Amino acid sequence: MKAILTVIGKDKVGIIAGISSELKNLNVNILDVNQTIMGDSFAMMMMVDINSSENFDKIKDSLIAKGEELEVEVKIQREEIFKSMHTI
């Protein structure tokens, strides 16, 4: 299952490393990543492949907790939900 992960917050050292490490621990593969810094704001969007036995809610909860630790907002949605929300 593919999912879209977004990370938004104040830029600081370790955000990409922290999120990537958490994804590795959850056995989630990063398919694509795009990130930008605007002033002191950080924004990142990833497409990931949830190819493990872990359930989506557990992965979501782990990533939200990692975001809180890194002081950024993390959201993850199944790809089909993301696409339907952003299709006119």
Count: domains in the chain: 1
Enter the pTM of the model. Answer: 0.86
pLDDT value at residue 51 = 79
Residue whose structure tokens are 């299709």:
87
pLDDT score for 54: 63
The CATH number of whichever domain residue 24 belongs to comes to 3.30.70.260
β-strands 41-50, 28-38 pairing: antiparallel
| Helix or strand (DSSP H, E) at 77 | strand 72-78
pLDDT at 85: 67
Instruction: Please tell me the predicted confidence (pLDDT) of residue 63.
Output: 97
Structure-derived torsion over alpha carbons of residues 58, 30, 65, 38, reported in degrees to the nearest 10: -150
Reported as type and span, the H/E element at residue 25 is helix 15-25
Tens digits of pLDDT across the chain (88 residues): 899 999 999 999 999 999 999 999 999 999 999 999 999 999 999 999 997 656 899 999 999 999 999 999 999 998 667 666 666 6
SS in 3 state form for 33-76? Answer: EEEEEECCEEEEEEEEEECCCCCHHHHHHHHHHHHHHHCEEEEE
Q: Which domain holds residue 62?
A: 2-85
What is the structure's pLDDT at 31?
96
